[in-house]
């Protein structure tokens, strides 16, 4: 019984230290977990707002090819491949090419 009480006190101190969440020094895990839960909830609800979820569009000038290429840098089919790039030279992202249609054209 004494060991259990000691363990409970130690666990309470630990939880107070980390704020009761699943976190690292920069709160990264906690923030990502919150974002994933928000997205899952939106997809579950499927109301008119979430039916139009779109990927973030990134300017081409913000993207670079990885310094060391890999055979898995391009995946998917030839008509619509997914391509691995580096955002601002540091963050790995997977991109899908889009065709921007000028409103002044007949396309």
pLDDT tens-digit profile of 48-76?
555 666 777 888 888 888 888 788 788 87
11 and 49 fall within a common domain: yes
b/e per residue, 30-67, with b = 16+ CB within 10 A? eeeeeeeeeeeeeeeeeeeeeeeeeeeeeeeeeeeeee
- Residue 31, Ramachandran bin (φ over 0: left; ψ between -120 and 50: alpha; else beta): alpha
My answer on whether 107 and 82 are in the same domain is yes
Host domain of residue 15: 1-53
Q: What is the mean pLDDT of each run of 10 residues along the chain (107 residues)?
A: 74 67 59 78 66 74 84 80 85 79 57
pTM of the complete model beyond 0.85: no
Residue 33 and residue 30: Cα distance in Å, rounded? Answer: 5
Q: Given 33, 53, 73, which residue is the final one in a domain?
A: 53
d(CA 25, CA 45): 33
């Amino acid at each position: 019984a004494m060991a259990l009480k000691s363990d409970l006190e130690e666990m309470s101190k630990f939880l107070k230290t980390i704020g009761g969440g699943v976190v690292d020094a920069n709160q990264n895990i906690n923030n990502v977990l919150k974002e994933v839960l928000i997205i899952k909830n939106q997809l579950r609800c499927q109301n008119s707002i979430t039916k139009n979820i779109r990927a973030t569009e990134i300017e081409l000038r913000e993207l670079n090819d990885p310094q060391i290429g890999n055979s898995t840098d391009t995946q998917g089919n030839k008509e619509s491949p997914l391509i691995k790039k580096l955002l601002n030279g540091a963050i790995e992202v997977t991109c899908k090419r889009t065709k921007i249609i000028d409103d002044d054209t007949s396309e």
